[in-house]
Amino acid sequence: MSTITERHQFILKKIKADGQVNVLDLCKELDVSPVTIRKDLKLLEDKDLLFKTHGGATLNNPYTVDRSVNEKEKMQHSEKIKIADAAAEMVQANDSIVIASGTTVLAFAKQIQPKKNLTVITSALNVAIELTRHPEVEILQLGGMIRKNSSSVMGDYAEHILSDFFCSKFFLGVDGIDLDFGLTTTSAMEAHLNRKMISIAQKVIVLTDSTKFGKRGFGRICGLDEVDQIITDAGISDRLVTTLEGMGIKVTIV
């Protein structure tokens, strides 16, 4: 099977059957080089027949769209609760942590049972309100322009405030995780604030359900080299876990 037409027909038939294809598998099945397969996938993507991903292609659009916090809160709800429970166990007595915005980190805030004193810096209004029920939690609410879709603040003022602090852990929710592009969100300004939060934290912990893998948002937060740990659900593939752990990232599956 050597002609380009035959290869393309084979790839399209396989991706329609499986939902995705892998470059290395296609190389073996078609007896061609990875360069040839990547060119084939690029041509098929240009014709809107598939979407290229890290190491392969998929039929599902990997680019995320912005949704309201109320809509996102209902999606993968049970997975988010399990992820939140695991993350809450990492909060220690006399800890100082940063919590970003999003429905998964909001679920995390709801599960926190403070041990003695806890200091929380957050950009999320709903996270701050949730934590006010704990008298032993000191909350520093960042200020700035309000992003209504995520019930959070962003902008220069919020970033400037962060310059005066350093925390042990940063708990971050994302809209997409791509092995090549890294962590992303649908807002460029929020991504910039997240980068500032990373710079003041000793450890970066990503809380995400498995549907976010292979997705890309508009705003890039950082590369995976800046991530210490990912807490996710059992929907993540074994191959992806192996790849992430090979990059030095601890993967916790709930």
**Following DSSP, what letter does each residue of 119-146 receive, concatenated?**
EEEESBHHHHHHHTT-TTEEEEE--SEE
Cα distances (angstroms) measured from residue 70 to each of 88, 125, 131, 148, 232: 22, 14, 19, 11, 21
Across the chain, what does the average pLDDT equal? 91
Q: Where in the chain is the domain with CATH 1.10.10.10?
A: 4-58
Structure tokens at 195: 């980068």
Identify the helix (H) or strand (E) that includes residue 30. helix 23-30
Question: Would the pLDDT of 65 be above 60?
Answer: no
Question: Would the pLDDT of 68 be above 70?
Answer: no
Exposure string of 44-64, with b = 16+ CB inside 10 Å and e = fewer, is beeeebbbbbebbbbeeebeb
**HSE toward the beta carbon, residue 67, CA cutoff 13 A:** 14
Question: Would the pLDDT of 67 be above 70?
Answer: no
Q: Where in the chain is the domain with CATH 3.40.50.1360?
A: 69-253
pLDDT digits (tens, 9 = 90+) for 205-226: 999 999 999 888 889 999 999 9
pLDDT (0 to 100) of residue 1: 53
- Beta-ladder partners of 170: 98, 204
What is the architecture, at CATH level 2, of domain 69-253? 3-Layer(aba) Sandwich (3.40)
Residue type, 136: E
User: Quick one: what percent of the chain has pLDDT higher than 70?
Assistant: 94
pLDDT digits (tens, 9 = 90+) for 121-174: 999 999 999 999 999 999 999 999 998 888 899 999 999 999 999 999 999 999
10 Å CB burial of residue 146 (0-12, 13-18, 19+) is middle
User: Quick one: what percent of the chain has pLDDT higher than 90?
Assistant: 74
Question: Would the pLDDT of 62 be above 80?
Answer: no
Most confident of 4-18, 53-67, 77-91: 77-91
Cα distances (angstroms) measured from residue 178 to each of 83, 182, 187, 253: 20, 5, 16, 18
Average pLDDT over residues 100-104: 94
Three-state secondary structure call for residue 251: strand
Say how far apart CA 138 and CA 95 lie, in whole Å.
10
Say how far apart CA 41 and CA 96 lie, in whole Å.
46
What is the architecture, at CATH level 2, of domain 4-58? Orthogonal Bundle (1.10)
Q: Where are the alpha helices (H) located in 65-212, listed in sequence order?
A: 69-73, 77-88, 103-111, 125-131, 156-162, 188-199
Say how far apart CA 129 and CA 229 lie, in whole Å.
26
